[in-house]
Amino acid sequence: MDSPYRVLGPDGRAIGALPTFAKDVDELTKLYRAMVLTRTFDTKAIALQRTGRLGTYASSLGQEAVSVGVAAAMQLSDVLLPSFREHGAQLWRGVTLEELLLYWGGDERGNAFTGPREDFPNCVPVGSHAPHAVGVALAFRLRNEARAAVCIFGDGATSKGDVAEALNLAGVWKAPVVFVVNNNRWAISIPVAKQTAAPTLAQKAFAAGIPGSQVDGNDVIAVRATLERALERARAGAGPSMIEALTYRLSDHTTADDASRYRSDEDVSKHWAEEPILRLRSYLFALRAWDKEREEALLLSCGQDVERAAAAYLDSELQPAAAMFEHTYAELPTDLVEQQTGAVSYLRGL
């Protein structure tokens, strides 16, 4: 397999031909802002969780280029099926900051997106949304719609049967779906080397008759360009693709994890030099398209947006416990009606 596709090196210098969109400074600035907003949100969400005002949360620190680059390549008519670390993609596609906080706070209203109504909610079970993505893509094909499904999951999901089955079905049906492996090198505490003997994760697609490729997941330009090509192919009826985005998880797996138990600070620190925000900022500075004043203004703007959303989330009216039954079925099955009735009776008696 060829080396991972890359446009910007870790130092922010262009080392490959720029795709057309990357020659537009405004487009690069949008990508940069989206990654900064994602990281600002990330920092606030962790602070809320640590102070008991948010549930267990999965950080995307160091992985912002994957989710932002993927979403920037998508059309609004495409459908995103995220795992649980794609905050940047969701924000790009129109999910609001407040909705994300509601979701992570355990409020199902956070999944009633005001933006991408057909995008799927976060999938916390590892890899179980991959077959769903094939189903979505098959529906597009049967309806003769020039749309594609995009399914993002981590490296650990490629060890699950759900993903293997999804790849097989997608290949047989030539479903217009793009699978994105966010290879952050750790499936909680298990490194990739202990998950598989395959030299790459992308090549796991080959047995299903699906093209697989690697991209530098810390290069948002390369991620977007790679996804654009795969999505054009899918919408044109040429079938599915799988793309392995190579990045690194700079944080704990979730706020319920302590990564210091299984990896050293030295191992983590060397990856900070490769992180995506620094990389694109260095490139923009070199172009003289960015400066200290613009950076400070952006940080202030993102901080204000996140603080407003956090205040709205904290001021939102708490939902009753029985609301957990209201967002799964159009009509509740009999057994769940009984459970709901029992829950309401129990809570009234407290």
* Each residue's pLDDT tens digit, 240-266: 999 999 999 999 999 999 999 999 999
Instruction: Tell me the β-bridge partners of 242.
Output: 179, 212
* Tens digits of residue pLDDT in 84-117: 999 999 999 999 999 999 999 999 999 999 899 9
Amino acid at site 258:
D
Q: Are 124 and 57 in contact (CB under 8 A)?
A: no
* Tens digits of residue pLDDT in 142-184: 999 999 999 999 999 999 999 999 999 999 999 999 999 999 9
Helix (H, G, I), strand (E, B) or coil at 192: helix
> Is 87 among the catalytic positions?
no
The residue to which tokens 């979701």 are assigned: 103
Residues 347, 149: Cα–Cα separation, whole Å: 41
Cα angle 271, 295, 10; round to 5? 25
Which pTM was predicted?
0.96
83: tokens are 């795992």
| Mean pLDDT estimate for the chain | 96
239: tokens are 């079938």
The residue to which tokens 């047995």 are assigned: 207
In the chain, where the domains are located:
20-319, 320-350
Question: How far out from the chain centre does Cα 51 lie?
Answer: 25
- What is the pLDDT, as a whole number, of residue 249? 98
By percentage, how much of the chain surpasses pLDDT 70? Answer: 100
- What is the pLDDT, as a whole number, of residue 349? 79
- What is the pLDDT, as a whole number, of residue 115? 92
Confidence of residue 299 (pLDDT cuts 50, 70, 90): very high
Choosing from 87, 253, 283, 313, the catalytic residue is 253
How many other CB atoms sit within 10 Å of the CB of residue 322? 15
Q: Are 33 and 304 in contact (CB under 8 A)?
A: no
Helix (H, G, I), strand (E, B) or coil at 152: strand
- What is the pLDDT, as a whole number, of residue 158? 98
Residues 136, 141: Cα–Cα separation, whole Å: 9
Which CATH architecture fits 20-319?
3-Layer(aba) Sandwich (3.40)
Residues 2, 235: Cα–Cα separation, whole Å: 25
Phi, psi of 116 (to 5 degrees): -80, 85
Amino acid at site 17:
A
Choosing from 53, 132, 262, 271, the catalytic residue is 262
Is residue 39 packed enough to be buried (19+ CB in 10 Å), middle (13-18) or exposed (0-12)?
buried
Residue 344 pLDDT > 90, yes or no? no
Residues 286, 12: Cα–Cα separation, whole Å: 8
Those residues with Cβ within 8 angstroms of residue 244's Cβ, 6 or more apart along the chain or in another chain = 4, 181, 183, 200, 201, 202, 212, 213, 214, 215
| DSSP annotation of 24 | -
Average pLDDT over residues 282-287: 98
Average pLDDT over residues 216-240: 98
Choosing from 129, 249, 279, 283, the catalytic residue is 249
> Is 141 among the catalytic positions?
no
> Is 262 among the catalytic positions?
yes
Confidence of residue 327 (pLDDT cuts 50, 70, 90): confident
